[in-house]
């Protein structure tokens, strides 16, 4: 049997999708036939990402949404440009190392505004329409840090922990409607931002492959994969969960973590 994912006729919004995991998700959804909205704060960055997607997926139907969805104004602009979606991927997120005792109240608030409330607002806006139509997919891109709180950035970890509760709660709100809501626990992933993060922790004088290995050895020794995950590997799981094939998976925290979380259940 050949397993095929066909999202033809579905519209997807991927927040924070001008680079990294978000861009990979947008591309993979487009390859499956979805109409994809690429989102970012800057119009130029959104245009570049959309043009790259069109090049990688000829014939892709791409919408450009330059809006900061971590703000009320940006959310309103997004809803104006894209009133309904079938697939909502809450990918937008920020991270960065700060000693636990030096994280200010303002920084805690910023992490919750961007990493948690942005997705909550969009879900609150789009979920009712999905429920009325009897089909929809909502996903939150969480992290292994939701379960294994990193000592160097507990504000990030706690914001991702919140997403697990948020997704489970909205899944209950959508029970029996044909809409699924899940979170995806992404493990340490190779992105441009993470390259900078790795350099900050292990030094910027090492070749990338050596720096990556040193980072995994020092800071992520639990990983069974023993390498950084590629964004496309996260995107493959997200696209599966967005498809009809995953119709019985909801309220779940699905791991794509390279075995980083030391547990035998999700």
Beta-carbon contacts of residue 199 (< 8 Å; ≥ 6 apart): 211
Mark whether 140 is an active-site residue: no
Element (H, E) at 20: helix 20-31
DSSP string, 83-99: ---SEEEE---------
Q: Say how many C-beta atoms besides its own lie within 10 A of residue 40's C-beta.
A: 26
Choice among 111, 156, 240, 260 that is catalytic: 156
On whether the CB atoms of residues 37 and 82 are closer than 8 A, the answer is yes
Cβ-Cβ contacts under 8 Å for 262 (sequence gap 6 or more)? 148, 222
Alpha-carbon span 103 to 111, nearest angstrom: 11
Count of Cβ atoms closer than 10 Å to residue 264 Cβ: 5
**Which residues are catalytically annotated?**
156
């Amino acid at each position: 049997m050949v397993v095929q994912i066909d999202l033809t006729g579905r519209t997807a919004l991927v927040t924070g999708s001008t680079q990294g995991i978000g861009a990979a998700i947008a591309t993979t959804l487009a390859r499956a036939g979805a109409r994809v909205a690429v989102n970012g704060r800057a119009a130029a960055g959104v245009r570049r990402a959309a043009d790259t997607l069109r090049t990688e997926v000829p014939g892709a139907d791409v919408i450009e949404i330059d809006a900061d969805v971590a703000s009320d104004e940006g959310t309103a602009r997004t809803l104006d440009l894209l009133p309904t979606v079938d697939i909502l991927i809450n990918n937008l997120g920020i991270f960065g190392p700060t000693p636990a005792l030096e994280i200010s109240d303002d920084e805690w608030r910023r992490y919750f505004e961007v990493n948690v409330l942005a997705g909550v607002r969009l879900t609150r806006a789009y979920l009712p329409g999905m429920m009325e139509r009897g089909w929809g997919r909502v996903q939150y891109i969480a992290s292994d840090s939701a379960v294994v709180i990193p000592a160097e950035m507990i504000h990030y970890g706690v914001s991702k922990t919140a997403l697990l509760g948020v997704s489970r709660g909205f899944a209950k709100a959508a029970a029996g409607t044909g809409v699924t809501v899940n979170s995806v626990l992404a493990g340490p992933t190779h992105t441009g931002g993470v390259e900078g993060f790795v350099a900050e922790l292990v030094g910027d004088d090492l070749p990338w492959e050596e720096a990556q290995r040193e980072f995994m050895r020092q800071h992520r020794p639990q990983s069974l994969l023993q390498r950084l995950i590629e964004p496309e590997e996260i995107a493959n799981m997200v696209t599966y969960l967005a498809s009809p094939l995953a119709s019985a998976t909801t309220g779940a925290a699905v791991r794509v973590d390279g075995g980083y979380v030391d547990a035998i259940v999700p």
